[in-house]
């Protein structure tokens, strides 16, 4: 959730809370045996307008920033590196035919992270299937380097991963090497052994040859901010002396390491996206940013991590629909007083429908995420608003009955002189 949207929701909820407190105070002040509203027409206009404003604000906040076709923010920096910002991506022209679940895999990366976040695991490099399913990736969570196979379940998670703590610092260039085969995975930093794992096999996937994606995940919701100077992929298990040789190599025309299936070197003044390995698998940068595989009401494991940002999202998704449940209940009581027992059901389905519209629209917004948990929280917020109204509506309904008697020229028995 973006900071402007978060600030908007906080300010909006404060405004609505003040409105409801004043409205409740007015009910208590003006009731006799039931609330007597002398200006019922004005009240109808006010609540109707308030309902319209709430609906407009929810739709605007839910579909912000309304940019369904954002520009792909990949660029070539002056120091000869491909640079990624939020909502950017680059991908190989075709699958890596020399890489499958039976071959060893080695990856060399020279990267410079710009800034990090604990909100999500940002994807530096991902391997995906032909359908856009993410199979494995190298990512960043905070300053930590993450290597994960999403198709290899572990004892406690639907994936297997390993990490190197404090490996990626903002503004500092680092040479990362990941080697993996059926015996495990090893991570090297700047040519030195950093971490190893026997449980993680990076190419342990059940699909065919993978396709490479840089700077984001296939669903477009895990952007990475930083630069990549050099990238090479090999279908052999590199040794430490070979990794050191790669690090000191200055040959821009060919890769000195064996088994090279992909090699990009983004040098200033050169064609930045040409594969130098001889496989002719160039790097594509689309003009417009668009997720490879859009998420539609999906639940991911990361949504259950109670980080500060996730708790904030939960609160805003819940609180954003409480005013709708309350004010729309008031509006229906004023305009449809004869169908009071069906009003809560109508309010609930209205809130659910609005949430469905928002979440469906977010499927086509690259900067937003369509989430089942958000839909559920929106519905719970609507129910909470209905319950708050029902708990405080006794005197309000009495006032409505009194106004009906007056309009018909009758006087309630308990008000007769």
Which class is domain 74-289?
mainly beta
User: Residues 6 or more apart from 395 whose CB is under 8 A from it?
Assistant: 27, 28, 31, 34, 35
- The DSSP symbol for 35 reads B
Residue 376 pLDDT exceeds 70 = yes
Asked if 174 contacts 168 with a C-beta cutoff of 8 angstroms, the reply is yes
Report the percent of the chain where pLDDT is more than 90: 48
C-alpha separations of 215 from 188, 253, 369, 416 in Å: 21, 25, 17, 77
Helix (H, G, I), strand (E, B) or coil at 145: strand
pLDDT of residue 379: 96
- What distance in Å separates the CA atoms of residue 188 and residue 111, rounded to the nearest whole number? 13
Helix (H, G, I), strand (E, B) or coil at 17: helix
- What distance in Å separates the CA atoms of residue 92 and residue 215, rounded to the nearest whole number? 12
Q: Mean pLDDT, the chain, as a whole number?
A: 83
Higher pLDDT, 335 or 145: 145
pLDDT digits (tens, 9 = 90+) for 386-401: 999 888 776 566 555 5
- Mean pLDDT for 179-192 is 94
The residue count of the chain comes to 417
User: Residues 6 or more apart from 85 whose CB is under 8 A from it?
Assistant: 73, 74, 223, 225
pLDDT digits (tens, 9 = 90+) for 4-55: 556 666 666 666 556 556 655 555 555 433 444 455 677 788 888 999 999 9
Domain(s) labelled CATH 2.60.120.200 in the chain stretch across 74-289
pLDDT band per the 50, 70, 90 thresholds, residue 366? confident
> Residue 285 belongs to what H/E stretch?
none
Instruction: Return the minimum-mean-pLDDT range out of 166-175, 326-335, 399-408.
Output: 399-408
237 C-beta neighbours (distance < 10 Å), count: 16
- Mean pLDDT for 60-89 is 90
Helix (H, G, I), strand (E, B) or coil at 164: strand
pLDDT digits (tens, 9 = 90+) for 325-352: 999 998 888 887 655 678 899 999 999 9
Q: Per DSSP, what are the bridge partners of residue 184?
A: 181
pTM (2 d.p.):
0.78
pLDDT of residue 304: 59
Q: Where do we find the tokens 């995420």?
A: 369
- What distance in Å separates the CA atoms of residue 21 and residue 37, rounded to the nearest whole number? 17
Cα angle vertex 291, ends 285, 292, to 5°?
A: 80
pLDDT of residue 33: 39
Asked if 19 contacts 50 with a C-beta cutoff of 8 angstroms, the reply is yes
How much of the chain is in helix, strand and coil states, percent to nearest 5? 35, 20, 40
**Helices 3-30 and 394-407, packing angle to 10 deg:** 60
Alpha carbon of residue 405 to chain centroid: 53
* Structure token digits, residue 196: 């190893």
- What distance in Å separates the CA atoms of residue 61 and residue 413, rounded to the nearest whole number? 49
- What distance in Å separates the CA atoms of residue 408 and residue 143, rounded to the nearest whole number? 72
């Amino acid at each position: 959730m973006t900071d402007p949207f978060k600030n908007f929701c906080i300010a909006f909820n404060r405004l609505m809370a003040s409105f409801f407190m004043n409205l409740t105070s007015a009910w208590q002040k003006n009731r006799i045996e039931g609330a007597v509203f002398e200006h019922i027409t004005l009240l109808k206009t006010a609540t109707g307008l308030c309902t319209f404003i709430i609906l407009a604000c929810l739709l605007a906040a839910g579909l912000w920033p309304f940019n369904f076709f954002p520009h792909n923010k990949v660029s070539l920096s002056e120091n000869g590196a491909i640079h990624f910002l939020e909502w950017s991506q680059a991908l190989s022209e075709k699958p890596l035919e020399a890489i499958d679940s039976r071959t060893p895999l080695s990856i060399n990366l020279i990267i410079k992270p710009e800034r990090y976040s604990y909100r999500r695991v940002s994807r530096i490099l991902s391997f995906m299937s032909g359908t856009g399913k993410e199979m494995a990736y190298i990512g960043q969570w905070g300053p930590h380097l993450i290597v994960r196979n999403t198709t290899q379940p572990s004892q406690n998670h639907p994936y297997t991963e390993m990490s190197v703590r404090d490996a990626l610092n903002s503004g500092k260039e680092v040479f990362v090497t990941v080697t993996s085969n059926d015996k495990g995975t090893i991570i090297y930093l700047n040519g030195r052994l950093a971490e190893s794992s026997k449980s993680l096999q990076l190419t342990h996937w059940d699909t065919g040859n993978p396709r490479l994606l840089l700077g984001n995940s296939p669903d477009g919701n895990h952007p990475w901010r930083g630069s990549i100077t050099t990238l090479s992929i090999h279908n052999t298990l590199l040794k430490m002396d070979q990794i050191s040789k790669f690090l000191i190599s200055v040959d821009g025309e060919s890769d000195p390491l064996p088994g090279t299936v992909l090699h990009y070197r983004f040098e200033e003044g050169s064609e930045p996206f040409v594969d130098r390995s001889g496989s002719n698998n160039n790097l594509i940068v689309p003009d417009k940013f668009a997720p490879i595989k859009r998420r539609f009401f999906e639940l991911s494991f990361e949504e259950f991590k109670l980080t500060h940002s996730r708790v904030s999202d939960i609160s805003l998704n819940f609180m954003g629909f409480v005013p709708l449940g309350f004010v729309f209940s008031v509006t229906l009581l004023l305009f449809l007083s004869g169908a009071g027992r069906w009003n809560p059901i109508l309010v609930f389905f209205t809130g659910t429908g609005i949430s469905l519209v928002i979440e469906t629209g977010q499927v086509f917004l690259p900067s937003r995420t369509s989430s089942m948990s958000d839909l559920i929280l929106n519905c719970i917020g609507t129910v909470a608003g209905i319950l708050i109204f029902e708990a405080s509506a006794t005197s309000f309904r009495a006032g409505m009955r009194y106004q009906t008697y007056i309009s018909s020229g009758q006087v309630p028995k308990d008000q007769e002189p």
